[in-house]
Amino acid sequence: MAVQTPAHSALGNLLSYASTVPMPPGTLVRVPLGRREVLGVVWACEERSGDEGTRELKAVAGALDALSPLAEGWRDLVAFAARYYQRSLGEVALAALPPQLRDLTSQQLARRLKRRATSASTPVDAGLSSQDSPRGAGQAQSGPGSPDLAAETDVAHAVEPSAEQAAALARFEAETGPFLLFGSTGSGKTEVYLRAVAALLARDHAAQALIMVPEINLTPQLEARVRDRFEARFGAGAVVSLHSGMTNPQRLASWLAAHAGQARIVLGTRMAVFASMPSLKLIVVDEEHDPSYKQQEGARYSARDLAVWRGQREGAKVILGSATPSLETWHHSRPADGEDPGGRYVRLAMPGRIGDGALPTVRGVDMNLQPPKTVLSGALLDAIGQRIARGEQSMVFLNRRGYAPVLACADCGWKSECPHCSAYRVFHKIDRTLRCHHCGFTERVPRACPACGNPDIAPVGRGTERLEEHLGELFAPVKRSDGSPVRIARIDADSTRKQGALAQQLAEVHSGEVDVLVGTQMIAKGHDFRRVTLVAAVNPDGALFSSDFRAPERLFSLLMQSAGRAGRDANYLATQGSTAEMWIQTHHGSHPLFQALKRHDYPAFAKQQLDERRVAGMPPFAFQALVRADARTQETAQDFLHAANAAADALPHAAQVMRYPAVPLAIQRVANVERAQMLVESASRVALQRFLADWQPLLHALRREPVGKGVIRWLVDVDPHAI
């Protein structure tokens, strides 16, 4: 039985319970655990031998037998994820299920399923959401496997595919994959996804497709497009969503529809990779490079990598799509070259934009030549002004929210440090607060310096809130063509905190009400702003010299994705007589990253980065894991890791694994908890996995020894995204 046991309890992956009747593997049951009754998943059902008969086992409290058992493929996925990412089987299995399902009794679940069956057998009321009233896939189609389904589904929705799209689709149909769809921003990757889904559903009346996106805020616009394409043919329940922004009842309804096969398409974020889909035949991972696919709490899995594994296990085709693929995916899709047999992925290239639209011209601004403390160069301000005059939109990107990163006193040197974290509290001018973005600790801005009483404390640095204010001041004298004032808007985690705020702000941008949009990475990817013709990156240099070897990769991706927001509608550009531009303000314009960006040359950038990583023995040419310890003192955390390191010397594969000394994290203290980590690395993935598996019992044992008494928690992060 897989149940979620307390962290570091070392109870083992599976627990045994007694049942008076046989239960097929995958059955959901309620079982006692300590003083609680919890949800569990039957992993195996065996008759007890005579020797075992004397051993007392707690009895299963009840089975949720109204629900069909979870399929073997799903259980294999969970088992692989638990094994590879060094977590307990029960933790992964239960985290993969909807939260509300864990609290339902057998009778409650049966009643819910009965209500769903009743609603599915009656016409769908237009006022109900798709989560409330899913319909079976077969109800809305003319017949199983209808040959004209793909064409009919696309009627009035899509024009003929471009030559590049058609070639990519032809190879997708002819080959097995996995596939990397390497298409420039605006090349029509989404249309390829949707046509691949349509063709699948035309061939197989029971088939299901999973479409994954990296972030919740990208889901609504893609969801609308998917629903528009498929619901007319399959009914309102054919498309369901799965992401953490949904309520628990909504998530349960979507999960049940997918599990029953009623939902033909599941659209979701990383959690959707664990959706129970018995007839899964296609997985799409859009923007596969995005770090959001790596879970950073609990079981630290990569949804992208699990999607590839699940596709291979269940015989489903997998498409990974990106204009800036992760270097691992790019390496895996390399063509054969001499003695190199090439990667195991098939690369499908779509370098052109739809409608012969040109990629934006990238212009660099050398900030070394600008007056001190210049925020926006005169040339950039003039270019934005020209866009405003023509009724076009500009987008200014700064990946730092708040008004200023820190508030400081010039007299005594006081800074707005967080008392609970090794970080500064950010100054938010709108509500006059100092807010820690790590632990959430918030206070009102003091009237004077808390240390010396100086009333003249000032913001240092610049965030999106301050940039928005600065742009408002600069363009206050300027009028739009209709005589109204220029509209500056900001989209970041602060401005979109309220329910529905993001949707409203995006609608205002799409309608043309906004002239200049300021924002963080939330606006840099995925959005299809048809009137944006200029994008500017204000201060991107920080990532160039980060200690994290992945920082340049992330920066290039972010800037190239940002550039892709400009000039997406070639007809609009032609009508305006305008061109698309990307402006980059930098002190390091000669850096290879910016030179490759000017040419929109991702392959050149990837080659340079991969060459460096090959020499340094870094991923994808090596495999890594982090062991982290959290404690009340840094000394306690590091002592635990030192002891773990010493204990690992005797392990069978220790000689094949490089272990680095324990060090504090970059932000070493969060919410009064000190954090330390140790990096382990190997040229062999198999050796690293075996080493970590052998190490786990030693780590559990250390936790119970004096050296582990002060440790709050420890964890293993396999294939970490940040070091």
| 516 has pLDDT over 70 | yes
**E-state strands within 220-337:** 239-242, 265-268, 280-286, 317-322
| 143 has pLDDT over 80 | no
| 150 has pLDDT over 50 | no
Average pLDDT value for residue range 406-413? 94
Domain boundary among 413, 443, 461: 461
Q: Give the least confident one: 26-30, 111-115, 690-694.
A: 111-115
Average pLDDT value for residue range 158-166? 87
Residue at 113 is within a domain: no
The strand pairing partners of 711, in sequence order, are 631
Each residue's pLDDT tens digit, 112-130: 888 777 666 543 333 323 3
In a shared domain, residues 553 and 655 = no
Domain of 32 in residue numbering reads as 2-96
Give CA separation, 56 vs 50, 51, 415, in Å: 13, 12, 62
CATH number at residue 11: 3.40.1440.60
The strand pairing partners of 491, in sequence order, are 519
Q: 621 versus 222: which is more confidently predicted?
A: 621
Average pLDDT value for residue range 175-200? 94
Total number of domains constituting the chain:
5
Q: 637 versus 568: which is more confidently predicted?
A: 637
CA distance 287 to 263: 23
Share of the chain above pLDDT 70, in %: 92
| 649 has pLDDT over 80 | yes
In a shared domain, residues 513 and 629 = no
Residue at 110 is within a domain: no
In a shared domain, residues 256 and 291 = yes
Residue at 107 is within a domain: no
Residue at 523 is within a domain: yes
- Tell which residue, 350, 283, 363, has the closest CA to residue 323: 350
Q: What is the pLDDT of residue 229?
A: 92
Residue at 106 is within a domain: no
The secondary structure element, H or E, covering residue 381 is helix 378-389
Structure tokens of 421? 């974290």
Query: Which range is most confident: 112-126, 234-248, 375-389, 501-515?
Result: 375-389
| 154 has pLDDT over 50 | no
In a shared domain, residues 138 and 182 = yes
CA distance 194 to 161: 11
In a shared domain, residues 583 and 649 = no
Residue at 315 is within a domain: yes
Q: 644 versus 186: which is more confidently predicted?
A: 644
| 157 has pLDDT over 70 | no
In a shared domain, residues 467 and 389 = yes
Residue at 310 is within a domain: yes
| 480 has pLDDT over 50 | yes
In a shared domain, residues 666 and 556 = no
Each residue's pLDDT tens digit, 663-679: 999 999 999 999 999 99
Q: 354 versus 281: which is more confidently predicted?
A: 281
In a shared domain, residues 321 and 184 = yes
Q: Are strands 488-491 and 346-350 parallel, antiparallel or unpaired?
A: unpaired
In a shared domain, residues 146 and 234 = yes
In a shared domain, residues 190 and 231 = yes
Give the predicted TM-score (pTM) of the model.
0.90
Domain boundary among 581, 615, 649: 615
In a shared domain, residues 580 and 444 = no
Name the average pLDDT for the chain: 89
CA distance 648 to 653: 9
CA distance 703 to 693: 16
The secondary structure element, H or E, covering residue 180 is strand 179-183
Q: Residue positions in the annotated binding site? A: 409, 412, 418, 421, 436, 439, 449, 452
In 3-state terms, what secondary structure has residue 564?
Answer: coil
In 3-state terms, what secondary structure has residue 446?
Answer: coil
Q: What is the pLDDT of residue 353?
A: 86
Contact 412, 449 (CB under 8 A): yes
Domain boundary among 560, 581, 615: 615
CATH number at residue 146: 3.40.50.300
Each residue's pLDDT tens digit, 605-617: 999 999 999 999 9
Residue at 102 is within a domain: no
Taken as a whole, the chain contains a residue count of 723
Q: What is the DSSP string of 581-647?
A: EEEEEES-TTSHHHHHHHTT-HHHHHHHHHHHHHHHT-TTSSEEEEEEEEESSHHHHHHHHHHHHHH
| 164 has pLDDT over 50 | yes
Q: Give the least confident one: 4-18, 538-552, 709-723.
A: 4-18
In a shared domain, residues 445 and 510 = no
Q: Residue positions in the annotated binding site for Zn(2+)? A: 409, 412, 418, 421, 436, 439, 449, 452
